Structure 1
Amino acid sequence: MKNIDSTVLEFEKALLQINRMRAAEIFEQCHASGKGFEELELIAIQSLENIGDGWESGTISLSQVYMSGVICEELIDKYLPKFQIKRTDIPKMAIAVLLDHHALGKRIVYSILRAGGFEIMDFGQGLSVEELVSKTVENQIEILLISTLMLPSALKVKIMKEQLASHGATPKIIVGGAPFRLDKNLWLTVGADADGKNASNIIKTIEVLMKGVE
């Protein structure tokens, strides 16, 4: 199997050509070679981030961005690990995309947590700081997962946390997305309690934070 960078390039090319069959072949080749879901996730997310950059620079059309997301979601649904775990009395959790509308990462995390037996509310994407604060306070959320695509959105997490505190709300906050992968210490800068890094290890991260809200 080729290295991850070349695989991303091949997968990205298939997405831009709206070639579902080729995209599926690449995922199947990775799966058959023993690659875990974490690598499939990386290939999909990195390809979509590259395509998003192309759209922002004007070299890729919005329809290509949209269809690339649709194809990735179809493939992710097929390869999501199926957990058989039952949990009770877990903290109230929610997930959202702050400001941005790129929802694939959120969908992957949400699906994995649901498959793992967790109940989690999906607040959606494109939420403002004020909207996310309101929903979190109203629903008495104890663990809040926030995904961002762009650095300005990521930096808003700190403001959001301050607003939550002003309402007497102190949920544990897990952040994820491209800015946090590029800057390994950004999650600390914005005052988050954990960095999701990738969807594959999110259950372990949740389990650690659960100890602090029992």
Structure 2
Amino acid sequence: MTPGARDALYARAAWLAAFTAVYNLAEGAVSVFFGLEDETLSLFGFGVDSFVEVISGVGVWHMARRIRRNPDRSPDPFERRALRITGTAFYLLAAGLAAGAAASLASGHAPVTTFWGVVVALVSIVTMWALIRAKVRVGRALDSDAILADAACTRTCLYLSFVLLGASLGTEWTGVGGLDAAGALLIAAFALREGREAFGKARGAATCRCAACGCSGETG
């Protein structure tokens, strides 16, 4: 591969990471708004998770630029700091969702509607699927473990979208509020795992970088 072609692929990887961050900002804002408006805990938690993923997207964008300039350089302090902040945010999200789900189940609370949860989940599924395909193509072309790991992280976001879709559809069809709380608990479990992995990779336990799978750095 020529240096020019390689630079173009790294530029595409950085663009994909930047797009992921911008998309997550928009998705998070919409999800949190309708989650609060419709008293839907799973949609609210999904939105906050999207905001945390923005930190991951910024870190991956920074990583792609760093590797493009110097493939042999180890993860820098910015990347490790981003991972620690991300890990803390995921832990707080998991704790908040678990407490909220417990309170919801105890009170028998049911959302006003989960219609917007269905809409957000469907849009997210289509977008995440397209991003995964694009990131895998770039990662394979560059033989980059880090970019392929970022694609795997996006796949985790895809799984979360299916969790939201299942919880929202189930609640909308049956009116059973406990399904929304169950979806929130599943999102909390994902957030707990992501937080633990983020802190592990911040300590240099692996060779990739992203929040959702907690990766940090690569050898180019």
TM bucket by the smaller chain?
Answer: under 0.3
Instruction: Give the structure with the higher percent strand.
Output: 1
Q: With CA pairs under 8 Å and 6+ residues apart, which has the higher RCO, 1 or 2?
A: 2
TM-score, normalised with respect to structure 2: 0.26
Instruction: Give the structure with the higher percent helix.
Output: 2
TM-score, normalised with respect to structure 1: 0.27
